Structure 1
């Protein structure tokens, strides 16, 4: 096979950058085998994005600490063991879905079907259990349903070339219709006690749901920050055409993030059915918007390539703390919706401001 030689037009062979020392960078060189994908311009952009993550996460953590501190002073019940355990169980499922949603958002996509997929997976798992299928196969089947629907989403986006918004909006309706038909819009009850223990049990006083959510978040953090696949995700979100020219399998990466999002939505549905002890066909309604909000509040950009798993989970925690504190203080739920909406606007506003500053200084 002839050796491929990288050649660029004369007018673009030199990209001038100014490192901290003031010296100019040399000419751009092509990526070598084993190196991170993408031309150096895109690689530098991605490195800056990864370096930005700590700042984005710290902003969410500051908001979370302020909210926790304020609620601790305002309510004596907030820091009680029982309330914290309930808060952990409430936040865990949202956190799992938000982490899956984040991967799609990092590629500049969106998944509006996660709530319906969650409902279908949870109700289907309950149906399998009631029909006598053992617990482990039922869980695998429930999660597998989410994985399959995520695969369909990915193929609709990459092969049918549908916009992610339209493809996943259609899947939202399909999955919700499927669960309503399969259950006749009736709650599925009678699941085994052992299945309910999965979500309602504890380990050393720590709710199982929280442990599972933390494990999922840690796994996704590792994938995004320590693997080639994670760098591919950021590269696709930054500039898919440049990533494709650099050898990144853009279609495969895009399909993969939708599959992961569907898988985690399926897992969330199984865990919610375990927590409630029943399969509820309307479960998950509106969860897709909560997941997107958690990602944005946690520092993700809807334009892609910015965000982290820890930030998404932090965003879910912020929303959970606000809702929990509102219930303790008997605050009108409508005010809480306004507060979360303001947080979203502020987070997006800061993201736009930082983008403009980076463009002006770049």
Structure 2
């Protein structure tokens, strides 16, 4: 049991997060300021957890989605257009955006399954195509590069926390209202891959495509479904970012690609497919957000910002890899029980 806990990469991530929080707090006590840091971190983390889940959906196959940011952008456009031109309620616009994201993801999955072309090539080409399409759509249907529209409930979702709602003298915690959306998404994805037949078949397809096909699993369909889920989650991330920013703009999703990989990979999801970790993805996204916020409070130069983030993440990855190597060595050092020496009959 102890070895199993030691070998869990999520434990290493949690330790690193706690250490970094302590270090940044010691250097800048404002790191624990509720309004300045804690609430904004949670809002940003909500977006990047969902982005990580979008990438995790296709990493389960050993695929990747390089168009995750542009899927978010085109979905945000669809939602913004619906709010601006059709005056639909908040939930209806969200559903429209999710539908568009799912359709784009399904198109990518169908292309991969039908042609056999590597997901890297397909989603990279799709990313370039969507860059031009999103710019064209905004220039055609909006007054500029964004829809500055706020349907009923959007301002509340963006600015309120549970601490703003009280029952007598008892108020809620300083948690933004958007956080439960990410928690529900994480829980749903976790249940999907752990408990549903469809999720387990997607993991089997990612683990061994040929074996899954011989077992009767419709692998092409599972590929399409995994990419559909990725597009759906990318659309949700785009909506959450639009709510946080207060506008549906063309640059939504532009910074999604790197965080989409960092969360799942740091959390233990295999790039080769066949194994995912939803909780690890949450911890990986949290680690990234803590690093970014801490370095920002330390006022590092913008030009060097990404360099420092890369160095810290490299150290975190190295420590986590070292922990895994040590765990494997411990397994190999388990003493073997010597086999009894057999004696032949008639020999003393």
CA distance, structure 1, for counterparts of residue 176 and residue 234 of structure 2: 20
Q: 2:125 aligns with which of 127, 150, 170?
A: 170
Q: Deviations over 1:162-185 (max 9, x none)?
A: 210011111111222211101116
> Match of 2:92?
137
Q: 2:311 aligns with which of 336, 339, 344?
A: 339
CA distance, structure 1, for counterparts of residue 24 and residue 196 of structure 2: 39
**Equivalences for residues 270-349 of structure 1 within 5 A:** 270-332=239-301, 333-339=305-311, 342-343=314-315, 346=318
> Match of 2:149?
190
**Given the superposition, is the C-alpha separation of residues 54 and 237 from structure 1 closer, same or farther in structure 2, using an over 3 Å criterion?**
farther
What's the TM-score once normalised by structure 1's chain length? 0.78
Q: Is the 8 A contact 2:206 2:274 kept in 1?
A: yes
> Match of 1:90?
44
CA distance, structure 2, for counterparts of residue 301 and residue 344 of structure 1: 17
Q: 1:201 aligns with which of 160, 163, 170?
A: 160
**Given the superposition, is the C-alpha separation of residues 87 and 282 from structure 1 closer, same or farther in structure 2, using an over 3 Å criterion?**
same
Greater displacement, 342-351 / 127-136:
342-351
> Match of 2:26?
73
CA distance, structure 1, for counterparts of residue 211 and residue 320 of structure 2: 25
Unmatched 5+ residue regions in structure 1?
1-50
> Match of 1:104?
58
**Equivalences for residues 240-251 of structure 1 within 5 A:** 240-251=209-220
Q: Is the 8 A contact 1:53 1:306 kept in 2?
A: no
1:354 shift after superposition:
9.1
**Given the superposition, is the C-alpha separation of residues 294 and 158 from structure 1 closer, same or farther in structure 2, using an over 3 Å criterion?**
same
Q: Deviations over 1:208-263 (max 9, x none)?
A: 22211111111111222222233223212211111121222222221111111100
CA distance, structure 1, for counterparts of residue 278 and residue 185 of structure 2: 9
> Match of 1:56?
9
Q: Is the 8 A contact 1:296 1:344 kept in 2?
A: no
> Match of 1:113?
67
Backbone CA RMSD of aligned residues:
2.7
Q: 1:256 aligns with which of 225, 248, 253?
A: 225
Greater displacement, 149-158 / 71-80:
71-80
1:89 shift after superposition:
0.4
What's the TM-score once normalised by structure 2's chain length? 0.81
Q: Is the 8 A contact 1:53 1:307 kept in 2?
A: no
Greater displacement, 340-349 / 278-287:
340-349
1:116 shift after superposition:
0.7
**Given the superposition, is the C-alpha separation of residues 132 and 149 from structure 1 closer, same or farther in structure 2, using an over 3 Å criterion?**
same
